[in-house]
Chain A
Amino acid sequence: MNRKPLVIAMLLLVVVLVATFGYTWYKSAHPAFSGSLISPPQAAYAFSLTSQTGSTVNLSDFRGKYVLIFFGYTNCTSECPLTMGYLKQMHDRLGLLADQTQVILITSDPARDTPGELGAYLSHFDSSFMGLTSSLAVLQPVWSAYGVTVLDDGETHTSYLYLVDPQGDLIATYPRLSNVDGITADLKNLLRGK
């Protein structure tokens, strides 16, 4: 009987193996970015707000770190706790690398979100997370600079997450987190210089 098909099958297997490992090698050398890249990066709007401890915080304080900015409010029941939960998972998965990142929640409801409220809210997630608030007059330019629409009751319909690089440039956005794999891999790759 003809042995040719057997040889062809084995050759195909070799092709599949070479392609699989070639692809894997290529992927690890050129990791895909799961967020939406902003190209070229733009200077992130510099804000100066009050943290949950009452101190004044500037975006420039975080030069040298990757900063993740999220807009939400403590009375929010859907998107905000979900996103903060994902960010907590991301923070844990980053391990030691997490020191080079900073998660910031900027309130969209300054009327209710006092520093104390924000501190109590964020303590459910991670002690390193920062909650920022201020007066409406100070917050409004920040919201509009990041394209956040805030309704009268402080509700926001934006669930974008903004990634600011160590130079203070806005480099990417995440429209809506549905898992932590992508954002964790992105930060790992960025921090490891890939």
Chain B
Amino acid sequence: MEHSSKSSVLQLGLLVLGALAVLTAVEFAIALTVNIWQALAIIPIIKAGLVFYYYMHIYRLFEADTDVDRESYAYKLATNRLGLWLFLISDSFIFGGLMISRINLLGLTRPELLQVLGLAVTVVLLISSFFANRAEVSMAYGDRRQFILSLTVTLSLGILFLIGVLGVEWQLAPFGPETNLAGAVFYVMTGFHAFHVFTGVIFLAIVLRNGLRGLYSAEKHWAVEASVVYWHFIDVVWFFFYPALYLIGTLVQ
């Protein structure tokens, strides 16, 4: 990153957002027309790959740990990153389990939901990921003002997502968690995901507060990176939950 200019990195982030938007649009179009589940299963994997690489910088895990000084910041950073990813892997088992339940219980059927709202909250979360990346890049280049601004936007979009899912979708859904299997699956999946979004919002809010106090620098901002990587992880989970709940299959009778 140090070899690229800040504007080119930000530009790349925008390009990735564009690619994710195209992928999401294609996913939505396929769902509305031919609804081939294989296509709807592959597209989230492509989206996840893009986010893993460009937004979550998974390759940083493989950067050689040349620092022999165990007390150095570089060494601790490498260890922290490993720890964060191990947590994300363990967390994904919960989401994976929920996904397996959904596949077993609902198969190629889906609950009756508001398509426009589903797409809207998905777009909100996608844009929030873009701003999260922008916040992290800005901090890495020492642009504190842009960092605060982008992080605030991320946080607001996260809250907007929660309002969309818990405040609108949950209230308008024509079924409850006890109505049928589809209802149970829908509420437990969106509920678990929304809880993670909620914790992400808290995490980002703490980072924002500390950022306003000037605790981070271009060289040392692990908490910023961690909160942003966690935020992207929540977005990646939604990449899979969104088609699983809204797009794949035919409506439950």
Contact = CB atoms under 8 A, between A and B. Distances in A.
- Chains A and B form a bound pair: yes
A13 B23 contact: yes
Given A5-B49, A5-B54, A16 B16 contact: no
A16 B4 contact: no
A7 to B, nearest CB: 10
Contacts of A13: 22-23, 26, 43, 46
B9 interface: yes
A17 B12 CA distance: 24
Given A12-B46, A13-B46, A1 B54 contact: yes
B94 interface: no
Interface string B39-55: 10011001001100110
Interface in B176-234: none
Interface string A17-38: 1011101100000000000000
A20 B39 contact: yes
7 contacts: A1-B4, A1-B9, A5-B54, A9-B46, A10-B22, A16-B42, A20-B30
B240 to A, nearest CB: 16
SS of A interface (majority): helix
Contacts of A10: 19, 22
B36 interface: yes
Interface residues of A, number: 15
Nearest to A23: B36
B109 to A, nearest CB: 12
Contacts of A19: 39
A192 interface: no
Contact of A9 (B1, B8, B19): B19
Nearest to A2: B53
Nearest to B41: A16
Nearest to A181: B250
Lowest 5 CB-CB distances: which A-B pairs, in order? A20-B39, A24-B34, A5-B53, A12-B46, A9-B46
Contacts of A9: 19, 23, 46, 49-50
